[in-house]
């Protein structure tokens, strides 16, 4: 069967199609994404602007038709912190549904952290023992710990790399003062969240998910993505500290020359590095292991588990409708 996951994040909007069945690993089939930073479309009152809503709706329509064109059996559509924390989030979701027929499921911060942890557990297996997972998004930072498939503790704080860059690092390169103030803010925000993990035990593996961790690890010498997902990739706290210092003195355009850094992520790389550095320091770990699976894979795997009990899939209504429209519009003989 072919499943789609439409991920409306703070940095990108991404549709991933995979071929999978219960008990098997999901194999990527096709991907359709666009760099759309909804955080950058926030008005002073915390609402997403009309322009941002239009861009989002246009992409959801593209994704809707892309999934139908490639014969997806089901489409899981969800959104995270950018819409979750917008003052007009409910209105944005209603507009998307009205104009596209696609219902975006709004994940809470703890749900986002839990489903990401679920994917990490499936990737590493039971032999990894207790896992602490860290995920740096554009709008929020998720943390989860546990010994089972779902975490004992899962939490989210508003320390996303794009959000912090917008609010604290307006200069390019940033001033030493702004970096110092941001470091202080990150630690002050993280400390109470980290203390909520006290008494849960010590992790055998600290996993890092998200593009930010992958980019930081690549800069520090980890293998490129072209080497495949099964290469062990780690990010040492010492190397992270060194690179955070170096990046703080670089302009965004100069960061593009670093390995694994895209134009869309270059400006927010420093904020992500500072969050990662503070998290490892406060949790008292010296390294993080990069995991290729994250939230999208977690939701797919959870859906496959549900199918074991629910039986065969009927096409999701919006996918079936799109397939019908595309077929009707296709040239004769196509």
- Residue-level pLDDT at 12: 83
Paired with 75 in beta bridges are 4
- The dihedral over CA atoms of 152, 108, 159, 148, expressed in degrees to the nearest 10, equals 20
- Residue-level pLDDT at 312: 54
Task: Read off the pLDDT of residues 46-66 as tens digits, 9 standing for 90 and up.
Answer: 999 999 999 999 999 999 999
183-194 average pLDDT score: 98
Query: What's the whole-model pTM score?
Result: 0.90
Confidence grade of residue 68 (pLDDT, cut at 50, 70, 90) = very high
| Residue 139 CB neighbours (<10 A) | 27
Strand arrangement, sheet containing 287-290: 153-157, 141-146, 131-136, 205-209, 287-290, 234-236
Answer whether residue 9 shows pLDDT above 90: no
Tokens of 265: 């992520």
CA–CA dist 227, 236 (Å, integer): 20
Alpha carbon 318 to chain centroid, angstroms? 24
- The dihedral over CA atoms of 299, 8, 85, 162, expressed in degrees to the nearest 10, equals 110
Q: Is the dihedral of CA 257, 261, 267, 273 positive or negative?
A: negative
Sequence ranges of the domains in the chain: 2-106+296-329, 109-290
Mean pLDDT score of the chain, rounded to an integer? Answer: 91
Confidence grade of residue 23 (pLDDT, cut at 50, 70, 90) = confident
Confidence grade of residue 11 (pLDDT, cut at 50, 70, 90) = confident
Task: Determine contact, residues 151/117, Cβ cutoff 8 Å.
Answer: yes
- Residue-level pLDDT at 332: 43
Say which DSSP state 87 is in: T
CATH number of 109-290: 3.30.420.150
Helix-strand-coil percent breakdown of the chain, rounded to 5?
Answer: 50, 20, 30
Confidence grade of residue 22 (pLDDT, cut at 50, 70, 90) = confident
- Residue-level pLDDT at 317: 56
Task: Read off the pLDDT of residues 232-257 as tens digits, 9 standing for 90 and up.
Answer: 999 999 999 999 999 999 999 999 99
Task: Determine contact, residues 104/89, Cβ cutoff 8 Å.
Answer: no
Task: Read off the pLDDT of residues 284-314 as tens digits, 9 standing for 90 and up.
Answer: 999 999 999 999 999 999 988 887 655 555 5
Confidence grade of residue 36 (pLDDT, cut at 50, 70, 90) = confident
CATH class entry, domain 2-106+296-329: alpha beta
């Amino acid at each position: 069967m072919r499943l789609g996951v439409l991920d409306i994040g703070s940095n990108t909007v991404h549709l991933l199609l995979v071929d999978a069945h219960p008990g098997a690993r999901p194999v990527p089939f096709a991907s359709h994404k666009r760099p759309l930073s909804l955080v950058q479309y926030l008005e002073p009152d915390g609402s997403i602007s009309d322009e941002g809503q239009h861009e989002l709706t246009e992409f959801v329509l593209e994704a809707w038709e892309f999934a139908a064109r490639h014969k997806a059996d089901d489409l899981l559509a969800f959104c995270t912190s950018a819409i979750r924390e917008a003052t007009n989030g409910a209105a944005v979701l209603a507009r998307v549904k009205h104009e596209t027929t696609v219902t975006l499921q709004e994940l809470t911060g703890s749900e986002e952290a839990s489903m990401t942890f679920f994917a990490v557990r499936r990737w590493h297996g039971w032999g990894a023992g207790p896992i602490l997972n860290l995920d740096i998004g554009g709008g929020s930072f998720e943390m989860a710990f546990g010994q089972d498939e779902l975490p004992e503790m899962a939490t989210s704080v508003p320390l996303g790399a794009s959000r912090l860059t917008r609010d604290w690092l307006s200069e390019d390169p940033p001033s030493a003062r702004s970096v110092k103030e941001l470091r202080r803010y990150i630690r002050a925000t993280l400390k109470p969240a980290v203390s909520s993990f006290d008494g849960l035990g010590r992790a055998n593996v600290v996993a890092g998910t998200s593009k930010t961790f992958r980019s930081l690890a690549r800069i520090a010498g980890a293998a490129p993505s072209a080497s495949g997902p099964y290469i062990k990739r780690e990010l040492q706290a010492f190397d992270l500290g060194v690179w955070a210092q170096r990046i703080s003195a670089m302009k965004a355009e100069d960061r593009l020359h670093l390995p694994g850094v895209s134009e869309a992520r270059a400006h927010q790389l420093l904020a992500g590095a500072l969050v990662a550095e503070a998290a490892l320091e406060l949790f008292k770990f010296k390294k993080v292991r990069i995991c290729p699976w994250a939230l999208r894979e977690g939701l797919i795997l959870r859906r496959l588990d549900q199918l074991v009990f629910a039986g065969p899939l009927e096409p999701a209504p919006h996918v079936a409708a799109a397939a019908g429209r595309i077929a009707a519009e296709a040239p004769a003989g196509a």
